[in-house]
Each structure stands twice: as C-alpha cells, then as structure tokens.
Chain A
C-alpha cells in the first residue's frame, strides 16, 4: 500500500491542500491557469479601494539573479476586482487570499468589509507596504501603525487576516510580533527590498519611479533568515517568500519556520516554478520518508 503523505496545512482554521502558493503581484488570470488548481492557495495582485494607473515606465529592470520593480500597484479598484476577477479565481477550486492596500485606515476597513461579504474569499492579506500618513515611512515600517491597522480590520471582519511585512526594517520580528498582538492570524514575508539601479550612460535611474523593490533569488538567503528570526518570536503561521526557485529553496523557508511558501518572481522566468516546487517537496518527503509536511515546519531550531 502506498504510504499516504500529508501535505495539507492550516491557517486559522482554513485548510490548504498543500503549502505552495503564488506571491501577490506575480500571478493573475493572464497566467495559464491549468496548473493553479494543484496549488495550495492563490494570491492575486494587491487591490486598492479605487483604480490606480501605476507608475511611469520603465517599471522593471533585471539585476544579478533578480529584478527591481516599481509597478505602483496598477489596479482596477476593489469593486471591479470583486465583480470581474474574483469569480474567475473562485472557480480554480483553491482558497483565494485577497491582498488589499489602503491609502488610509478607513480605506483598509472599507475594503475588508467588502471582502468579508464575499464567500469566495478565504483570507485577507493586508499589504502594509503603503504610505503611513503623517509619517515619512511605510505602515509596515512602524510597529504601532501595523498593529493599529490589523486591529481595525480585525474588528470588522470574521475572515482570517494576514499581515504582509516589509523587510525594510531594523527588526522584522518586532513588527511581526506587533501584528500578532493586534490579532493577525498570520504574517506573510517578505515583500521586496528597497533598491535602485542607475544607468550610468544616461546618468539617471533605470526605474521611472526612481527607486523600486528587489525580488528574486538575490534576496532569498536574507528572507530565509528573516523568517527564521521571526519564527523564534511569534506563534502565528508564517507565509514565507523571497526568491524561491525550486523545492530546495522552499524547504529552507519551511524549515526556518514558514507554514506556507509563495513563489513570486521566478514564475516570470519559469512559469511552472510553483508546480515544480510542489512536486519537488513531495519527492523530498518520499526520499526522506517524511509523511507529514508539518514535521518540517520550523524544523530548524
């Protein structure tokens, strides 16, 4: 008899068939969707309350083993998302995690309420890499602001909430801890690292927005360490990401303490990366005779 392998994981009562998902902003219905059904969850690009055109081009530039992007959350607004995109994602048959970002506390609350009324939304991810009004930093760079928004949203929804954290901080574990205390059901980490690339020939930035965020395999070891440091400090689950290109990379995040892993930038280079990661994790578990993925989560102490 074949040994039954358990790949399923659980975040705040929501069950995922496996721990592999796609990172916000690196997946949409423009993708060939055939393989998506096999993943644990899907996370579409961050939506905002109102439609936004995004940043002027050039928006991307490649870097050693990665890329810098400044897309500027080009999106059609939450209402268009709910009526036009959500039904498409809901049909995939895997839990849908919707990422939202607000320009104000109020906007986060309004969007969360709208999503709370949608049965096809499994969890809500708060992209906190947004300006923190009155302060010259991002919400995700300020433990108090992070806690404030998590608590506000938590008050108006009964769906689980994930706080997506920025790595551009002194101690990401402290911010994660603030999110946990405010009631977050999970944290998702890491977003991109603030970065810039200069065109010395043209003597200007290679990014229309001047600076952008670095992602891809270049950031992976830093992200793994951040997940590890954070896992030592919080009890809620972590969705780990940052440069995952294969099962080995994903297993590093899991052993460092991530309950789920998300594939981002590498899907642009190899569209089937997330699926290959999933298959590779299965092969690893078979080879190591591990029956339950949960035995690997935070394995490294």
Chain B
C-alpha cells in the first residue's frame, strides 16, 4: 500500500499517568499530513489487539507526533514501546480542517480530553496568520491536563476547565464558552472531544449562527472507507468517519 510506512520511534514520553507523547521519524509521511488528518497504527505484529488504532497527528513539522491517552489494551501496549522500535502506520487518512475564510478574526479550538490532539497541528498552521487563536480545553482532572506552553508559543490564548476544578475553572468546557465572540462572520469554531461536549458546542454555535467543524471519533477497522464500519450519523445520512471524516461540518453531525 502506497501510504503505509514503517517509522522508527524517536521518543515515547509519559506526560501524566494517562497521557503520552510519541515522536516518530518523519519518513515520507510528515510532509503529507494536513491538520485534522489521522494515521492508523498497527499496535502489534500479531492479531491482538486486532484492529489498527487511529490517532490524530498532533504535529508533523520535523517528525510525526502523537499525543495519546492510555484508554485500553491497545494504547497500553503503545505506551510501553521504546525508542528505536518501529511502528507500522498507514496515513495520512481522512479529511482535514478547512482553513478559516479571510473575514474570520477569531479562531476558537475547543478540545475535550485527548480530543485536543489535532489542534496542535491546526495552530501550527494558523499561527502568525493574523487570527486571534483561542484554545478552550476541558479535562477530567489533573491527569488529563498538561503544560500548554506549546499552544501558547503558537499564539493561542489558552483557557482550561476540569470536572473537579483541580486545574483551571471547575466544570465542563462549556463554562469557557464566554470566551467565544459570538460574531457569525468573524468567528470560526473547531471542536474535538466526547460526543456530549461536541453536542454542546454545536448547540452554542447554532444559537449564535457560528460556523464550525468537528472531528469525530468512532471505532474503525479499515480506516480508508472500505468496510463502512465507522459511520457517523449526519443530516445527510450515514457517513464514514475515516474517509468522509473525521472532520465534518459542525452543523452536519447528529450527535
């Protein structure tokens, strides 16, 4: 397959008890990735776990970087991989974020938990383009929060909430929606995270007539649009998360 690569792990660092940061050599992959796209990682050479695992590309400037949460057996195995080991990946896959129109002044990225991952690549692209970049990040607790300095270096104003108030404002990320300028022409929203969170962003955007995009997550098998296993319900019928998405128009998805 032409977009299948074997890339060496340059580092795989534990950030918190739950979050890891993996850096792969760029190979021929890094230069092809657009913000919002993902790769399918073969976790082991054997058949357990069976499916490849999808991960957004966190960064792709000098290397291919993933930012991931240890959730189950696949990410557990991934977290134990060492520098020098080789990962078999397929990508870049799926749709990417469309860039804001010229009229847009404020770009708001709303990430829930590990859903923040694709926004690093997006802010790498939008930095220094004249937009006001805002990142609203909601995490469960301090295990799901991390140093936001890289986002800040990209010119993002960062606001954090946690469910338990251990970091930032207490509450769901919606407590930060007051940072969004409700200007239909000049605000663009991007969101990625749990369904309920994206639904609340959709409601907010609808109420204020704001344009936006969301990145969806479904269990995937093939990752390329063949098996039709990962469909997302949209106002235009079922669409594959892996090929028609993961990035969809915010008003298109039925959460």
Contacts and interface: CB of A to CB of B under 8 A. Distances in A.
A221 interface: no
Which of A30, A53, A56 is most buried by chain B, counting CB atoms within 10 A of its CB? A30
Interface stretch (A229-237, A266-274, A292-300): A266-274
A60 interface: yes
A58 B228 CA distance: 11
Given A74-B228, A269-B51, A57 B233 contact: yes
A268 B238 contact: no
Contacts of A54: 228, 231, 238
What is the interface residue range for chain B against chain A? 20 to 34
B52 interface: yes
B235 interface: no
Interface in B207-227: 218-219, 221-227
Given A28-B226, A271-B4, A58 B219 contact: yes
Contact of A63 (B50, B231, B243): B50
A238 B2 CA distance: 32
A69 B229 contact: yes
Nearest to B242: A30
A92 interface: no
B34 interface: no
Interface stretch (B41-49, B142-150, B178-186): B41-49
Interface string B32-71: 0000000000100001111110000000000000000000
A269 B230 contact: no
A268 B226 contact: yes
A95 interface: no
Interface string A146-159: 00000000000000
Contact of A271 (B1, B50, B230, B238): B1
A271 B4 CA distance: 9
Interface string A194-233: 0000000000000000000000110000000000000000
B130 interface: no
A265 B223 CA distance: 13
B47 to A, nearest CB: 4
B226 A269 contact: no
A135 B184 CA distance: 57
Interface residues of A, number: 37
Given A32-B224, A54-B231, A245-B47, 7 more contacts: A32-B3, A54-B238, A57-B218, A58-B219, A64-B47, A74-B228, A217-B47
B224 A31 contact: yes
A54 B232 CA distance: 12
27 contacts: A32-B1, A32-B3, A45-B228, A53-B238, A54-B231, A56-B233, A57-B218, A57-B231, A58-B218, A58-B219, A60-B219, A63-B50, A64-B47, A65-B48, A65-B50, A67-B51, A69-B227, A71-B229, A216-B47, A216-B50, A268-B52, A268-B226, A269-B52, A271-B4, A271-B90, A271-B222, A272-B1
A26 interface: yes
Contacts of B232: 57
Interface string B90-120: 1000000000000000000000000000000
List of 9 A-B pairs having minimum Cβ-Cβ separation, nearest first:
A60-B229, A30-B225, A271-B1, A268-B222, A62-B50, A65-B47, A268-B221, A62-B51, A28-B226
A93 interface: no
Given A54-B238, A62-B50, A71 B233 contact: no
B124 to A, nearest CB: 28
Interface in A38-83: 45, 53-54, 56-67, 69, 71, 74
Contacts of A63: 50
